[in-house]
A and B are shown apart, each in its own frame.
Chain A
């Protein structure tokens, strides 16, 4: 089968599957949030509400598309398209199954554009273009809430782009490549102990956090913030254009989940079930399921986080990016460089990451205490240790009495 046909087939499958998957992710989100709040969730359309996405889709298709008279029509129409376009585009270099696997039938390929050597950079470059959709939408809406939301989104994405990129740089240094397929292959060949999360746990945490911010997911969804900004940048959008924005957001979520599992959790590798050496019929299908399962569990985690953590205040959001994540990711990068240059064992990076994490915790708790000490009328708390570790402090005092 010629290369071009395979590519077209893959594009067709991906572009066809992603909206459907996104629809069902929305159902999953509604169901999970309902269960978390002791409700039932959508259950009227089909068994257990399984056809609810279809009903939603039909509703959004048939709804009246309101274009308010005060908007800039060209940008207004362009924004949601741009949002989806960039989100789908970023997915082009993400391998969503076992790539370069001889057992896979030749007409199936689990990546749209294989062997892109700048894979990660491409994802970040295109993914952060997605904020143009938001900014344009907010600006074109000619509405102060939309504009505020768009401004917040742009500030947020600009800030989180840095830790997002820097947390992966260390990984790129270690793997010696930016190609996602090669990074994945490096981990799958080395087995469980070669998963990048062992050497870069802090980077994994920061990558996940920063990509939540990139995708405008809670707790970083300051841009749409219903309580303050009505709907933020999509206040003026209705029907299918509104749906396109959400298609973009959920596609972003899928991309992030795949990226996290590929970069840090060994791709399709799972000990004993799918090793580089294992061989049994249908193995490629198992590998596909494992990778998708890892991505799915990340999506579930994102949904759980959304309904667990309250939204950040905007200054806290900026503080987290500029005062915590950027210095930490820089330090992490320097640590990797140091380790690579002097050819130390990679396991030092694990302890180094833990050390950095501890240093961050200590610095920020001390900074906060110092800031509080500057306040007028500050009374020094009597027992500092009691707050930090209540059980321990109590037990200690108890022991001293006897």
Chain B
């Protein structure tokens, strides 16, 4: 019963509205102040608009766009048809049909006979990319994907490989693998940590990390 004896905490705080003085009651200073603000914005001629089709946005480095299937150094598809991505996919948009690897491919048992990815069902979460043990599937920066039919956006293996050919030389879509420890055909020695997906000023600590996510913004626009 000792709990009831303690004084109840004061939870309701009554806040009086501030008393309006002479000038506030006449509205005039507030209106003038507001007009000053708007006029300042009219006259400073700064815009935040991006003229989209002509002026492409600067996306964060780990932006997740259209997928690609990476090739290995012998131009074969890197995928080993392990079904990890299809299993991880929350949208169920990946369909893989596996086939036994040819005899002269000693580094793997299987390869995908067909690899269908429905870009319309995909939610671009990047789970496939994370699940892939051989870094075969990756999300690129292509965001302006359109198609005239639903079928045109069912990407098959050839299409996904052509996306790789199209994006591999783009510095914003580096092949983020180095041959090493992670898997039989993975090329990572270590995984780089991802920085924040936002623009950071150069003085920020995360700007000094050589990571994929950081966008080096100019000082004045941020601070």
Contact = CB atoms under 8 A, between A and B. Distances in A.
B16 A381 contact: yes
A166 B88 CA distance: 75
A308 B37 CA distance: 8
B14 interface: yes
A368 B20 contact: yes
A38 B17 contact: no
B47 A38 contact: yes
Contacts of B47: 38-40
Contact of B38 (A307, A362, A365, A368): A307
Interface stretch (B21-29, B79-87, B118-126, B215-223): B21-29
Q: Which of A308, A357, A358, A368 has the most CB of B within 10 A?
A: A308
B1 interface: no
A308 B18 contact: no
B37 to A, nearest CB: 7
Nearest to A360: B26
A280 interface: no
A308 B34 contact: yes
B181 interface: no
B45 interface: yes
B166 interface: no
Nearest to A379: B16
Interface string A295-309: 000000000110111
Main secondary structure of the interface of A (DSSP, over half): helix
A372 B17 contact: yes
A125 interface: no
Given A305-B35, A308-B34, A368 B48 contact: no
A304 B17 CA distance: 29
Contacts of B26: 357, 360-361, 364
B19 A381 contact: yes
B20 A39 contact: no
B54 to A, nearest CB: 11
A372 B16 contact: yes
Interface residues of A, number: 30
Interface in B56-78: none
Nearest to B14: A377
A260 B67 CA distance: 63
A309 B34 contact: yes
A378 interface: yes
B11 to A, nearest CB: 15
Contacts of B14: 377, 379
B179 interface: no
Nearest to A390: B21
Which of B25, B26, B45 neighbours the largest number of chain A CB atoms within 10 Å of its CB? B25
Contact of A309 (B18, B31, B49): B31
B208 interface: no
Contact of B45 (A35, A304, A358): A35
A389 interface: yes
A106 interface: no
B19 A372 contact: yes
A237 B34 CA distance: 33
B103 interface: no
Given A308-B38, A309-B31, A369 B48 contact: no
Interface in A305-329: 305, 307-309
Contact of A305 (B18, B31, B49): B31
B7 interface: no
A227 interface: no
B42 interface: yes
A255 to B, nearest CB: 23
Contacts of B38: 36, 304, 307-308
Interface of A: 32, 35-40, 304-305, 307-309, 357-358, 360-362, 364-365, 368-369, 372, 377-379, 381, 384, 387-389
Given A32-B42, A388-B22, 15 more contacts: A36-B38, A37-B41, A38-B48, A40-B47, A304-B35, A304-B38, A305-B31, A309-B34, A358-B22, A361-B23, A365-B24, A368-B19, A379-B14, A387-B20, A388-B21
In the A-B complex, the 6 residue pairs with the closest CB atoms = A388-B21, A365-B25, A308-B34, A364-B25, A361-B26, A35-B42
